Amino acid sequence: MVAAAQLAYDLALPTESAGGNVLAMPGREETWVRRLFERAIGGLYAVALSPLGWHVRCGATLQWQISSKTEGIDDILPAMRTDVVLDYDGSGRRIVIDTKFTSVVTAGWYREQSLRSGYIYQMYAYLRSQVGCGDPQADSASGLLLHPSVGTMIDETVVIQGHSIRFATVDLVSKPAEIRAQLLRCVEV
């Protein structure tokens, strides 16, 4: 775990090639790599942004705005758990980040490439479900869907019902300093 944390902190990309550092081979499960990417993003933002006055929360749970419910709903209603939430009190800015370890686009019905609609719906739920609860940062929060890439960069934004949603990639074959710069550009710090 210490070795994985060091890789995440250094923004080093593990490979199966022979090299100077030997790590225990993790399972080849997608879940493990996805969680590593998520934690690396949260860790980088905590290290880079906390000294600038940002509050970084990893794995934050958002509350559903429930007005009534049946007896058994609590047993089956899923939680809304974000990957990373960035709050900057100086400006009242909030960025909800969801990391995905998939391609940012997929083949669409009527076009060659399309954003994944399920991811957009998820971010929309994160942002809109918190509006009107007395938290000014939630009322104007923006979203970032962040995907890894290899050699391809996408950085597109749309505003839906007053909430900016950004779709961005970070090129994992770049040098660590460039990866850091890409990630900071994604939150425009």
Task: Give yes or no for a contact between 147 and 102, defined as CB atoms under 8 angstroms apart.
Answer: yes
- The amino acid at residue 17 is S
Q: CB 41: neighbour CB atoms within 10 A?
A: 23
Question: Model confidence over 15-49: pLDDT tens digits?
Answer: 666 666 665 555 556 788 888 889 999 999 999 99
Q: What domains lie within the chain, and their CATH numbers?
A: 2-186 (3.40.1350)
What pTM was computed for the model?
0.80
Q: Which residues of 106-129 are buried (b: 16+ CB within 10 A; e: fewer)?
A: eeeeeeeeebbeebbebbeebbbe
Question: Model confidence over 99-138: pLDDT tens digits?
Answer: 988 777 777 677 777 788 889 999 999 999 999 988 999 9
Closest CA to 173 of 11, 57, 35: 11
Cα 37 to Cα 42, 145, 157, distances in angstroms: 9, 13, 22
Secondary structure letter of residue 83 according to DSSP: S
């990417």: which residue's tokens? 37
